[in-house]
Structure 1
Amino acid sequence: MAVLLNLQPVQYRSPIRRCGRNRVISIEKIRCGIAEPSGNPAPMGQKTKYKDGLFEKVFMSLFAQKMGKFAAAESKGGGEKKKGFLDYDYESFVNVSKRVMQGRSRRQQQEVVREVLLSMLPPGAPAQFRKLFPPTKWAAEFNAALTVPFFHWLVGPSEVIEVEINGVKQMSGVRIKKCRYLENSGCVGMCVNMCKIPTQDFFTNEFGLPLTMNPNFEDMSCDMIYGQCPSSFVDDPVSKQPCFAEICSMSNPSAPVCPKLL
């Protein structure tokens, strides 16, 4: 299966374990192409080095081209060659995201991501998802397990963790060790408007499976909690988050809150 490329076995046992006829692997924790000698993300303030394979590049290219339809025109030097499908790398994907933000309000940016996500699915997919995965403990745990291999190209290494929802402990949390999207963009607004809020809304409103994402701007980690309803934006701590003044090219160090969140 293509989604299992570059996966490496670890000790944690996953609800999804079988690959092929007899081979059993774990997918809960993945190095996912990290090229750092330690095999772990780089420390805060440094960008993690990755070595992306074909699987990762296909997803980067697909998302970049879908989002490119909504992006502001890119300034090009004379004779710059148009990118082919697999010519996109992660930096290209992030640059397209930045151009999508240009000239759009916070809500408009989120709507673009929603449209892109819907365009990736066949007609009627959200309705089918609701039938297959009603908002139960099993559905939340199953989707947490799937998140680790399917989204490693976007967010980097992650693992399933135990969370408590309405007094019930369940394995429906995903701990992203250091979000690749956030560390490469360096932008609080991109994290919130182009990832957190639209992803929460998509799962909660389109798929009917509540999801809350809690980014940690101190170390760029993030917890995804399937089965937990997200709070309103005004009640969410991210709504008051200042810029990464040292690393964001669009930052306003004097502003108490990232301008992209207003």
Structure 2
Amino acid sequence: MKPSTVILLPSISPLPFFRQRLPPRRLLIPPGGVPPVSCSRRPDTVPAPPLQATTAEYVPNAVDGVFLGLFRSKMAEEVGWDSDKPGYDGLIDVARRLMMKGTNADAKDAAVRILRALFPPLVLELYKLLVTPIGGGKIAAVMVARVTALTCQWLMGRCMVTSIDLPDGTHCQSGVFVERCKYLEESKCVGICINTCKLPTQTFFKEYMGIPLLMEPNFEDYSCQFRFGVPAPSPELDSALKEPCLEICPNAVRRKEVTRDSQTMQQCPKA
């Protein structure tokens, strides 16, 4: 070692030396440190977007048209009849015919078969066998929430993935919030919502994909909250099944005319 080198080292101030070479990203950490951030929720410093409905309607694209045509064809095949109306209006006509074809249980079972027919053979079984068990089912729930929000807006309208509370007390990005359900708004019927959408969809994901699902439609503002990973309550405890008919429902209007009592709204007979 050279003597000059030994002599010069004590003369260099270590504080300026490290200040000059301190990585810039370390300066972003405050002296007191930062609180730990859970991967299942947003940091407190980053506010989540408000869940408020927008006035703009979702504009379907070409891919949405393919989804609509496929879904309608499967529904018409199940019903044995198709409407002369084009597009979404014809789909609603077929849904109404499905409700008139039999009992509520018949409509629910038929809707489950329609959902199953939308998937290629073995896909549901492989998903339930290989994907659902990972992470206690949370990964599968997050995946289906994202796919639902991306591929089902043509049916329900604008929606977004949200964080929900799970039964084990944790949070998970496995919720889907529908701002204003087009299917409910166009059908104008609680029974169609319950028996051709809510109940069969809950049954489909639980039995054929192994993912519990609770759907919470709001019959006042037509919004709906999907909660993948949350079991649905028993029919006796499900408040959605006790909802009265919508005032705009054609069947409700007819009943009002017969009873001549516009103040009484009975529970929807199809719910």
TM-score band, normalised by shorter chain = 0.7 to 0.9
Q: How does 1:85-234 map to 2 (within 5 A)?
A: 88-130=86-128, 131-134=130-133, 135-165=136-166, 166-234=168-236
The question of whether the paired residues in 2 share the 8 Å contact of 1:176 and 1:223 is answered with yes
The question of whether the paired residues in 2 share the 8 Å contact of 1:152 and 1:158 is answered with yes
Q: Distance in 1 between matches of 2:111 and 2:117?
A: 10
Q: How does 1:28-43 map to 2 (within 5 A)?
A: 40-41=54-55
Q: Deviations over 1:50-79 (max 9, x none)?
A: 54322122111111111112336568xxxx
Q: Distance in 1 between matches of 2:224 and 2:55?
A: 13
Q: Deviations over 1:178-220 (max 9, x none)?
A: 0010011111011110000000000011110111100011111
Q: Deviations over 1:193-251 (max 9, x none)?
A: 00000000000111101111000111110000010011112210011111112x21222
**Stretches of structure 2 lacking an aligned partner (at least 5 in a row):** 1-39, 41-48, 257-263
AA partner of residue 148 (structure 2): T
Structure 2 counterpart of 1:257: 267
Q: Deviations over 1:14-51 (max 9, x none)?
A: x9xxxxxxxxxxxxx9xxxxxxxxx9347xxxxx6x54
Higher helix share: 2
Structure 1 counterpart of 2:79: 71
Q: Distance in 1 between matches of 2:77 and 2:138?
A: 37
The question of whether the paired residues in 1 share the 8 Å contact of 2:162 and 2:175 is answered with yes
- Per-residue deviation at 1:123? 1.6
Q: Secondary structure at the match of 2:171?
A: strand
**Stretches of structure 1 lacking an aligned partner (at least 5 in a row):** 1-14, 16-28, 30-38, 43-47, 76-82
- Per-residue deviation at 1:171? 1.2
Runs of 4+ in 1 over 4 A off after TM superposition: 72-75
Q: Distance in 2 between matches of 1:224 and 1:73?
A: 30
Query: Percent same amino acid at aligned positions?
Result: 33
- Per-residue deviation at 1:255? 5.0
The question of whether the paired residues in 1 share the 8 Å contact of 2:79 and 2:101 is answered with no
Q: Deviations over 1:71-123 (max 9, x none)?
A: 36568xxxxxxx6xxx8411111111111111311110011111111111122
Structure 2 counterpart of 1:54: 62
Q: CA RMSD in A?
A: 2.3
The question of whether the paired residues in 1 share the 8 Å contact of 2:81 and 2:94 is answered with no
The question of whether the paired residues in 1 share the 8 Å contact of 2:82 and 2:90 is answered with no
The question of whether the paired residues in 2 share the 8 Å contact of 1:72 and 1:102 is answered with no
Range with bigger deviation, 62-71 or 108-117? 62-71
Superposition TM-score, scaled by structure 2 size: 0.71
Structure 2 counterpart of 1:240: 242
Q: Distance in 2 between matches of 1:146 and 1:73?
A: 30
